[in-house]
Chain A
Amino acid sequence: AQSVTQLGSHVSVSEGALVLLRCNYSSSVPPYLFWYVQYPNQGLQLLLKYTSAATLVKGINGFEAEFKKSETSFHLTKPSAHMSDAAEYFCAVKRNTGFQKLVFGTGTRLLVSP
């Protein structure tokens, strides 16, 4: 079985500060990992994905994440927060073979203050 834990339901940063959103996963097989962003009353937009190639993955809007197998982590970072980054962020895991469903964490709401 697979699962995702996102530490911190809310993270607050100032504009220009580092963003760090934490994600730890559990998987019995090598995983694929994803970060999605959701703005109010909208669907999910893919930020980035890890599919067993490079462990440091760059995504859209200046976000990146590093896959660390030893720590079973896939934390999302951005060097400098913008007001437009305020949204809900979801980490998700999927098996790299077989059954195709995404298993999501409970999400982290990012608040950005001026």
Chain B
Amino acid sequence: DTGVSQDPRHKITKRGQNVTFRCDPISEHNRLYWYRQTLGQGPEFLTYFQNEAQLEKSRLLSDRFSAERPKGSFSTLEIQRTEQGDSAMYLCASSLEGISDTQYFGPGTRLTVL
């Protein structure tokens, strides 16, 4: 059973550049989530997809952030005009719609903005 995978694992960029992260969920899972985790904190919810539809977005997700899930499979998270405050671990999780809807997390992408 292949778990959630994320690419890249690490990304270093300069302020003002655009970055894109990819998440591949567990194959049969129809729900996909993005979270952000800063140092010393728990993950914070960013957005959630059910199949290809983006159903919820946190107010943490500014206009510079956009997420897609074409065809309800993998997802991408793009950050435009990165700022130093965007430095964080970006975590992806997936779940199968059902009774407990347990979310399984990927290894994360650590973003450093210089």
Q: Interface on A for B, CB 8 Å cutoff?
A: 4, 32, 34, 36, 41-46, 49, 51, 90, 92, 94, 99-107
Contact = CB atoms under 8 A, between A and B. Distances in A.
Contacts of A92: 42
B31 to A, nearest CB: 7
A4 B44 CA distance: 12
B40 interface: yes
13 contacts: A43-B106, A44-B91, A45-B105, A49-B102, A51-B99, A51-B100, A94-B101, A100-B48, A100-B56, A101-B33, A102-B35, A102-B93, A104-B43
Main SS class of interface, A:
strand
A107 B43 CA distance: 9
Contacts of A100: 31, 33, 48, 56, 95, 101
B104 interface: yes
A46 B104 contact: yes
A36 B103 CA distance: 10
B41 interface: yes
Contacts of B110: 41
Interface residues of B, number: 28
B108 interface: yes
Given A100-B56, A100-B101, A101-B33, 7 more contacts: A36-B105, A43-B108, A46-B103, A100-B48, A101-B56, A102-B43, A107-B40
Nearest to B6: A43
Interface of B: 4, 6, 31, 33, 35, 40-45, 48, 56, 58, 91, 93, 95, 99-108, 110
A106 B40 contact: yes
Contacts of A105: 42
Contacts of A41: 108, 110
B44 A104 contact: yes
B103 A102 contact: yes
B45 A43 contact: no
